[in-house]
Every structure is written in structure tokens, then in C-alpha cells.
């Protein structure tokens, strides 16, 4: 019996992690092996924001279409997801979407304003606002599942990574109504009106969890919870006001994980002081941004055992995105140093310590991938 199926009986029989067809199975891919602490046939690498503004083929395809529209046209979202795989030979595709898509599909007025980011028609700031939040259903994710299925059919044995914004980051956008530098609104609400905060976070945890589950059930082999703004919080506030809801979101896929099930990557920016808490929220892999060395991240995780007895987890990261614009000798030395630092972890997937800057020369990313693949374990 396939071991992955025995660990994750909730996955569909044709899911890439458990299917018996070698040309479609992702279970033995370099990415999945690294996420599980093993070694594959080459060092795995993919980049956050690898699909998007840095690619001329993306800009051409997106002409005349808004960001959120492009996420909700299955054929377009699938094509955008596949573009960097064809160009760069990365070891995984990251599903092209946005963390506010669950809000959009639920009927909340939100758009991505160019040069600004997500902007809501009406911020969510009072108990009455939370009372009026729409009910979430699995049916609303049909455009997402359609796009995932189209993408997986083209990827073959290369894994697709599904992702969702973590509850705090989604809630921060909802309270502020737009991007913010300091997130004073959500930080104030969690103390001034803790009951409303808890209700809002429960709603966003459900939205994120359902969104992530929909992608995995449709064929994604990995999930990533992305907490862009967790670094704005103190350790105590994260642990008491946020972490329980990240756990709640992850619990929506708990029956799909396990030793040979779907790995869950938990990534945030500015989160060096809470990496152990992000792990303990339910992650099997911890993403590290460019601010902290991987060997130090591994040390911190190894010295702070989680409640289930784990002392370390595989790491993902953490090439500095700024160095993509540096001279090649500088960038190559940096990539090699990141690999050396990651060697201390029980598994390591190369990535950026944040996303691909829109001004990045795509040929540089391709060259970085070639370099990483050329370096033996």
C-alpha cells in the first residue's frame, strides 16, 4: 500500500502525492524529499513571487486585466503559474493568487491598487462590521480549484505549492483597509476590543484554512502559510493573540498532513524572534527571511523544542532579494554561503528571504537556479 495514502486518507485517489503513475507523482521529487528532511537528485529551489511582474510574458498576458481578475480566470492563473517553471526550471510552481482572494470570493469589496496593494471598500473595525462578515463556503473556491487542476495536469511530477495568507496578515489588511507600515489598527483592536479581535481572527482563520485546503484537495502537494506582518508583533502578542488562529487555520489541513502527507511551510517577514512559535503553530517546515542566518535559525529551533517533542524542522530560504541586482560574483558567493548555512538543518529548500523584486532581470533567476542545481549535496 502506498505509504502516503496510509498517512493521508483524505487526499483524493488521483492526488499527485499518492498516485501510482511515476510521470505524475510528486512524492519522490527533490522538493518533497527536502521538505521531509531527505536528499533528492538535486538541490531544490523555487522563489516566492517567481510568477509575476519580473517576467515580460506575464506583463503581456495581463494587459487589460486587473490583478484579482487574473487570479480568478482559471486558464490565466494557471498559465501565469507555469511561466516561471518553463523559464527558470525551478523545482516547484507556486500557485498564482493573492492572500485577499478569499475576501473577494466571499463578496467583500477589495481590489489591488497598482503601486499600493490591497484596498478594501470599507475597513472592518467594529463589532457590527464583524457581524456583517459573509458566511464562508467551500463552493466559493471553484475558480481556484479549476485553476489548480489545470496547472497540476501540466506540471506532471513537479509539485505545485498552494498558499494562503495567515490569519493575522489578512486581518491586518481588513482592519487598516489598505497596506500599513506599523499596523497600529489591528494591534490596538486586539487589546481594546479583544472579543471583536477574536471573532475577526476566527473568521480569517477559517478563510485561510478553507482557501489552503481547496488548493491541496485540487492537487497542490505543499501548503504555505504566509504571515507578511507577523514581524510587527511582540513575541507575547503573537503567542497569545495570533498564534492560536494560525494553528486553527492549519487545522483545516491537519488530516492531509503527516509524515508522508502534505508538508506545511510557515513563513513570515521579520519573524526571527518567533520562529519556534511559528513551528509550534503546526508547521512542518519553517521559512526564514533574509535577516537571520540559516545556521542561527536552526540553532534557535533546535534549542526550543516544540510541544510534540520535535527539536528541529527543515528550513526554507533565504537568499537576499536585494542581491539579485548585484554583480554575479557577489550573488554567487552569497548563494553558496546560504547553502553552507542551510547544511546544518535537517532539510533545506533554497528560496529568497522574501519575494522576487519586480525589477529583477529574469535571466539572473535562471542563472541562480542553474548554480544551485550544479552544487552537489
The answer on pLDDT for 1 being more than 50 is no
The enclosing domain of 24 has a CATH number of: 3.20.20.210
Q: How many CB atoms lie within 10 A of CB 121?
A: 9
Of the pLDDT bands very low, low, confident and very high (cuts 50, 70, 90), residue 9 is low
Of the pLDDT bands very low, low, confident and very high (cuts 50, 70, 90), residue 6 is very low
Of the pLDDT bands very low, low, confident and very high (cuts 50, 70, 90), residue 344 is confident
Percent of the chain with pLDDT over 70: 95
Cell numbers linked to 16? 499527485
- pLDDT digits 0-9 by tens, 133-170: 999 999 999 999 999 999 999 999 999 999 999 999 99
The pLDDT of residue 307 is 56
Q: State pTM to two decimals.
A: 0.94
The answer on pLDDT for 17 being more than 90 is yes
At 154 the three-state DSSP class reads helix
Is residue 48 a contact partner of residue 352, using CB atoms and an 8 Å limit?
yes
Q: What is the tally of structural domains in the chain?
A: 1
The pLDDT of residue 312 is 72
Give the chain as a 3 state SS string. CCHHHHHCCCCCCCCCCCCCCCCCCCCCCHHHHHHCCCCCCCCCECCCCCCCCCCHHHHHHCCCCCHHHHHHCHHHHHHHHHHHHHHHCCCCEECCCCCCHHHHHHCCCEEEECCCEEEECCCCCCHHHHHCCCCCCHHHHHHHHHHHHHHHHHHCCCCEEEEEECHHHHHHHHHHCCCCCCCHHHHHHHHHCHHHHHHHHHHHHHHHHHHHHHHHHCCCCEEEEEECCHHHCCHHHHHHHHHHHHHHHHHCCHHHCCCCCCCEEEEECCCHHHHHHHHHCCCCEEECCCCCCHHHHHHHHHCCCCCCCCCCCCEECCECHHHHHCCHHHHHHHHHHHHHHHCCCCCEEECECCCCCCCCCHHHHHHHHHHHHHCCC
Q: Give me the mean pLDDT over the 245-263 stretch.
A: 93
Average pLDDT over the chain reads 94
The pLDDT of residue 10 is 87
Is residue 172 a contact partner of residue 183, using CB atoms and an 8 Å limit?
yes
More confident residue, 344 or 234: 234
Q: Give me the mean pLDDT over the 165-192 stretch.
A: 95
Helix, strand, coil percentages, rounded to 5, for the chain:
50, 10, 40
Please calculate the CA angle 313-170-240 and round it to the nearest 5 degrees: 60
* Domain range for 86: 3-374
Residue 77 has phi, psi (to 5 degrees) of -60, -40
Partnered with residue 223 across adjacent β-strands are 162, 264
In whole angstroms, give the CA distance from residue 314 to residue 222.
Answer: 14
The pLDDT of residue 291 is 96
In whole angstroms, give the CA distance from residue 1 to residue 51.
Answer: 36
- pLDDT digits 0-9 by tens, 266-304: 999 999 999 999 999 999 999 999 999 999 999 999 845
The pLDDT of residue 311 is 55
- pLDDT digits 0-9 by tens, 354-366: 999 999 999 999 9
Amino acid at each position: 500500500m502506498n505509504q502516503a495514502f496510509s498517512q493521508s486518507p483524505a487526499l483524493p485517489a488521483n492526488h499527485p502525492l499518492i498516485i501510482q503513475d511515476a510521470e505524475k507523482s510528486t512524492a519522490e521529487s527533490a522538493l518533497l524529499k527536502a521538505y521531509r528532511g531527505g536528499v533528492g537528485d538535486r538541490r531544490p529551489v523555487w522563489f516566492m513571487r517567481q510568477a509575476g511582474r519580473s517576467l515580460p510574458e506575464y506583463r503581456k498576458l495581463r494587459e487589460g486585466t486587473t490583478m484579482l481578475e487574473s487570479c480568478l480566470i482559471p486558464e490565466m492563473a494557471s498559465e501565469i503559474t507555469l511561466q516561471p517553471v518553463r523559464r527558470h526550471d525551478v523545482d516547484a510552481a507556486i500557485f498564482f493568487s493573492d492572500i485577499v482572494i478569499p475576501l473577494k470570493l466571499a463578496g467583500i469589496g477589495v481590489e489591488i491598487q497598482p503601486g499600493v496593494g490591497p484596498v478594501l471598500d470599507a475597513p472592518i473595525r467594529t463589532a457590527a462590521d464583524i457581524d456583517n462578515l459573509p458566511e464562508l463556503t467551500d463552493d466559493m473556491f471553484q475558480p481556484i480549484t479549476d485553476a489548480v487542476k489545470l496547472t497540476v495536469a501540466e506540471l506532471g511530477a513537479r509539485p505545485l505549492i498552494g498558499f494562503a495568507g495567515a490569519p493575522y496578515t489578512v486581518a491586518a489588511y481588513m482592519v487598516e483597509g489598505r497596506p500599513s507600515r506599523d499596523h497600529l489598527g489591528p494591534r490596538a483592536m486586539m487589546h481594546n476590543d479583544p472579543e471583536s479581535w477574536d471573532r475577526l481572527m476566527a473568521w480569517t482563520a477559517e478563510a485561510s484554512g478553507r482557501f489552503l485546503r481547496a488548493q491541496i484537495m485540487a492537487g497542490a502537494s505543499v501548503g504555505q502559510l504566509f504571515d507578511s506582518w507577523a514581524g510587527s508583533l511582540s513575541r507575547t502578542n503573537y503567542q497569545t493573540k495570533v498564534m492560536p488562529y494560525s494553528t486553527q487555520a492549519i487545522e483545516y489541513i491537519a488530516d492531509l498532513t503527516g509524515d508522508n502527507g502534505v508538508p506545511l511551510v510557515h513563513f513570515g517577514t521579520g519573524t526571527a524572534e518567533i520562529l519556534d512559535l511559528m513551528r509550534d503553530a503546526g508547521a512542518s517546515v519553517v521559512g526564514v527571511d533574509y535577516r537571520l542566518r540559516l545556521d542561527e535559525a536552526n540553532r534557535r529551533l533546535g534549542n526550543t523544542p516544540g510541544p510534540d517533542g520535535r527539536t528541529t524542522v527543515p528550513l526554507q530560504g533565504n537568499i537576499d532579494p536585494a542581491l539579485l541586482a548585484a554583480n554575479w560574483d557577489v550573488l554567487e558567493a552569497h548563494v553558496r554561503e546560504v547553502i553552507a548555512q542551510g547544511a546544518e538543518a535537517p532539510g533545506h529548500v533554497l528560496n529568497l528571504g522574501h519575494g522576487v523584486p519586480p525589477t529583477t532581470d529574469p535571466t539572473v533567476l535562471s542563472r541562480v537556479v542553474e548554480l544551485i542545481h550544479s552544487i552537489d549535496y
